[in-house]
């Protein structure tokens, strides 16, 4: 009986450890203090050719190709790391599989950046979540939140 109790306790503890330690990655957001808020327009620049992600952004906002602020969407799927430096992270299952990045620039100067490592491939929901954060940070007038 003690043997079964020991096995149950060990199994349950291991399960709790992995479930409790699994949490969603948090985005890294930076905002240039010189950026006048709220912004009034953005034009869209795409790095990559994922039409689904581009269409997702185009459905969320009407971009102005004459605006001086350029929003760049970049993402990568199925990241593979062959480096021995990251071997432990990859073997423990904590190595990202993809990322999504939204950067707002004025000329060459970065005014806003949203970056998120993902443990599954980037999809429309991830882009929409990033853009919702951008809207909250840049498009919503202060005090209207």
Within a domain: 15: no
Domain of residue 79: give its range: 25-139
Within a domain: 107: yes
CB atoms within 10 A of CB 54: 15
Within a domain: 9: no
Within a domain: 37: yes
Please give the chain's pLDDT, 145 residues, in tens. Answer: 555 545 545 555 554 444 444 456 899 999 999 999 999 999 999 877 788 888 999 999 999 999 999 999 998 766 566 555 555 555 555 667 789 999 999 999 999 999 999 988 889 999 999 999 999 999 987 665 5
Both structure tokens of 101: 């990045």
Domain total in the chain: 1
Both structure tokens of 43: 């034009």
Within a domain: 60: yes
Cα(73)–Cα(17) distance, rounded to whole angstroms? 36
Within a domain: 8: no
Within a domain: 110: yes
- For strands 98-106 and 109-118, give the pairing: antiparallel
Residue bearing tokens 């992270």: 89
Give the predicted TM-score (pTM) of the model.
Answer: 0.73
Would you mind telling me the total number of residues written for the chain in this entry? 145
């Amino acid at each position: 009986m003690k043997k079964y109790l020991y096995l149950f306790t060990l199994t349950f503890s291991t399960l709790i450890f992995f479930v409790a330690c699994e949490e969603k990655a948090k985005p890294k957001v930076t905002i240039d203090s010189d950026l006048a808020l709220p912004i009034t327009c953005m034009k869209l620049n795409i790095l990559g050719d994922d039409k689904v992600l581009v269409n997702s952004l185009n459905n969320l906002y009407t971009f102005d190709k004459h605006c001086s602020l350029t929003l760049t969407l970049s993402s990568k799927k199925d990241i593979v790391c062959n480096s021995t430096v990251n071997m432990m992270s990859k073997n423990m299952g904590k190595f990202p599989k993809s990322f999504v990045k939204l950067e707002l620039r004025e000329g060459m100067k970065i005014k806003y950046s949203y970056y998120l490592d993902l443990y599954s491939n980037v999809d429309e929901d991830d882009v929409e979540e990033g853009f919702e954060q951008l809207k909250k940070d840049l498009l919503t007038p202060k005090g209207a939140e």
